[in-house]
Amino acid sequence: MSMHLEGPWLSTTGKKKGKRKFRNADEARKARELDESWKALQKKWAADLEEKKRKRALTSDNLSNSYNLKTPIGRETPKINSLPFTGGPCFKTPEKVYTGDKIKGIGTMHKSNAVPIFSDEEAVDISRMRR
């Protein structure tokens, strides 16, 4: 599959919103008033929240006193010794070879699908199959 250039709608860069436009001056004035009242409301309540955060931070315990990075008791990993080396030789296992007479061969039915062939009729059938 080849790569194609896509338009700016799939881009993650350049997503800044432009200047907001209004239909008329009355809507622009209403939007400004609403924005000012929202900022005033945020300012009114945010000061109280900031004071609460400051008080809580000053009265809280130091985190370095409450946390330690030592391993808890009972969690130590036990030392398990490995088996001793016997020094004996390691022999290669003999290869597995089919010694029977039931299977005549292996055929390829479709793409690289290997199929065992038990009789001459099966070999002819597989060779006549379409791709």
pLDDT of 19-70, one tens digit each?
778 899 999 999 999 999 988 887 887 766 777 778 887 887 776 666 777 7
User: Does the pLDDT at position 13 exceed 90?
Assistant: no
Minimal CA–CA distance to 124: which of 102, 111, 109?
109
> pTM of the prediction?
0.27
Position 89 scores a pLDDT of: 83
pLDDT of 99-126, one tens digit each?
888 988 888 887 778 888 999 998 888 8
Contact call for residues 110 and 94 (beta carbons, < 8 A): no
What is the Cα–Cα distance from 30 to 42, expressed in whole angstroms? Answer: 18
- Structure tokens given for 58: 């000053």
